[in-house]
Structure 1
Amino acid sequence: MNSLTVPCFFLFFLFLSVAAQDIAVPVLDSDGDELQADQKYTVTHVTQVAGTKGGLSLEYSGPRCPAYVTAEARGVIGIPMIFHPVNCDEGPIYESATVYIKFTYNRVCTEVSAVWKVDDYVDESTGLYFLIAGGTIGDKRSQLKIVKSLKGDEGYSFVSCGLSECTSIFEYSDKNLTRLALGNDEDAASIVFHKYLLTSTSSIM
């Protein structure tokens, strides 16, 4: 291990020594294993069995950038993602811990990074702040958290806490495109994480 690398478990024990009353709980994937900072994952929706959404990807909404973080159609895996916890490079991802999320590639707007961020500007037609590519590790607009599903099911939800207050992330559909945006807890998307395997294809059953 690189001497400059700060493992997450070290920060976890440091956190406990400062605030023993708070117990850090690891995020679990679909196999019941702890989500790891050095692995690739895809997601599916808790409600996918009922029929509508697939994984997450990047798409245009108009003729050019930005590239929006979008939900794919049912059966499509989407783009694998990697989680980067704040101040550590490896180890488990914990619930409500600040992370940066990066897709493994960006073929839509290649001139910007594949790190997620909350757009700098509110969308005039919807009044919403959407999640787009082009973020930076260390930028508050790229800071997100993974929490237990805000709908009370067995999945998880994304929350943005890099601005003035924590805001849940939901899926807004229009123009045959479903984009991730800041919204209300009752509308928050519920997702499940899956290890991305080299044998994965572009579709899921």
Structure 2
Amino acid sequence: MRLLLIEDSPRLRELVGETIRDAGWRLDAVGSAAEAEAAMEGEEYDLILLDLGLPDGDGLDLVRGLRRRRRMTPVLVITARGAVDERIAGLDAGADDYLTKPFNNGELLARARALLRRAPLAVAPVLEAGALRFDLATLEVSCAGAAIALTPRERAVLEILMRDLGRVTAKRVLEAKLSGFDEEMSTNAVELLLSRIRKKLAAHPTGTAIETVRGVGYMLREVPG
């Protein structure tokens, strides 16, 4: 899953971003409405975390624009505007939930998980391949009830492959989707991640295999028991 944080304060953007990434979600973070529009043009996000007081506009205008375009990405408003009428205005504009600053990081993550569980995802909220199960809301990966411990980036790679089950995922797609705006993901790093994932999955009867398609990319497929 990939989240978008729209927050004009560099310090809060850093702190919230660290909380989100530590929870295992991929995150893009921007500081203005214009940057947010550009980000949303090139990526389908699973959840948007939105500050209302942006330097180049009101965050609620972003929400209204999304809803007019029939983009139903869940929006969690994070703002210092805590009055009841302001919360009502945010929800009426199309936001899905409202969190007032200052907030507890645990509550932020709990609200994010709740919205992700309710979100009209392009795929089911739980990905399955063979006996492998990936709960997109809780980020739990398991096989026959046994948890499989993966790092955040390993989970991100596995999620992409499970979404493309039975189809080849190009190397460049993995590199692009695993890269934030301020960092790059090299081919060697992707290969290392895949090697680690294979080893961890091999310890469980997942009924799946990750194949390398030379010169193209990788494919997760189900294999007979």
Name which structure has the greater RCO, CA cutoff 8 Å, separation 6+. Answer: 1
The structure with the larger Rg is 2
Q: Report which of the two has the higher share of helix.
A: 2
Q: Report which of the two has the higher share of strand.
A: 1
Q: TM-score range by the shorter chain?
A: under 0.3
Taking structure 2 as the reference length, what is the TM-score of the superposition?
0.26
